[in-house]
Amino acid sequence: MSGDAAMRAYAATLPVPEFDTTAFTRSDTPLSERRVAIVTSAALYRPDQERFSQGDTGFRALDRTDRDLVMGHWSPNFDHTGFQIDLNVVYPIDRLEELAADGVIGDVAPRHFAFAGNQPDTVSELRLDTGPACAAELLADEVDVVIFTPV
């Protein structure tokens, strides 16, 4: 079995949490009037920020204009090639800017957020602590829509 097939088989055995309530609300505001942000698990950070360490459940805020980003994934199972060729593979910020320029979305949020996605034992900390803290930052920026880019 190839490494990719083995990872897929393992991931298929992991439990998926079920929630009795939802934290999201539906709005009838058209997408063309909404502010959009990205939340990625690509472990991105600016060179002047603290890098992600193993077990790091924190997040890093990325300014809308940031393009000189570092990918902090340390897993040997992760291929960085796509990111090295085009940041938008894991963090589609330029595509969002184009959608805003074309009027498809209302605005690009001033900040976006990155987590380190390779955190197998810290789901509860993310769900109960840093996830809600990041959500509060998104609300402070008046974000209406979040695009999650799992990496």
Q: Which residues contact 118 (CB under 8 A, 6 or more apart)?
A: 43, 73, 74, 75, 78
* Cα–Cα dist 34/98, whole Å: 14
Residue 20 belongs to a domain? no
Question: For residue 104, is it within any domain?
Answer: yes
- Domain containing 120 equals 27-149
Distance of CA 10 to the CA centre of its chain: 22
pLDDT at residue 34 above 70?
Answer: yes
Query: pLDDT confidence of 24, banded at 50, 70, 90?
Result: low
Residue 110: inside a domain, yes or no?
yes
Does residue 130 belong to any structural domain of this protein?
A: yes
Structural domain count, the chain: 1
In a domain, 71, yes or no: yes
Question: Is 41 inside any structural domain?
Answer: yes
Mean pLDDT, rounded, for 107-135 = 86
Which amino acid is present at 24?
Answer: F
- Looking at residue 72, its pLDDT comes to 85
Any domain includes 5: no
Task: Give the H or E element holding residue 133.
Answer: helix 131-140
pTM for the whole thing?
A: 0.81
Tally of residues, the chain? 151
Considering the domain boundaries, does residue 93 fall inside one? yes
Kindly report the backbone phi and psi dihedral angles of residue 138, in degrees, each rounded to the nearest multiple of 5, phi listed first. -65, -40
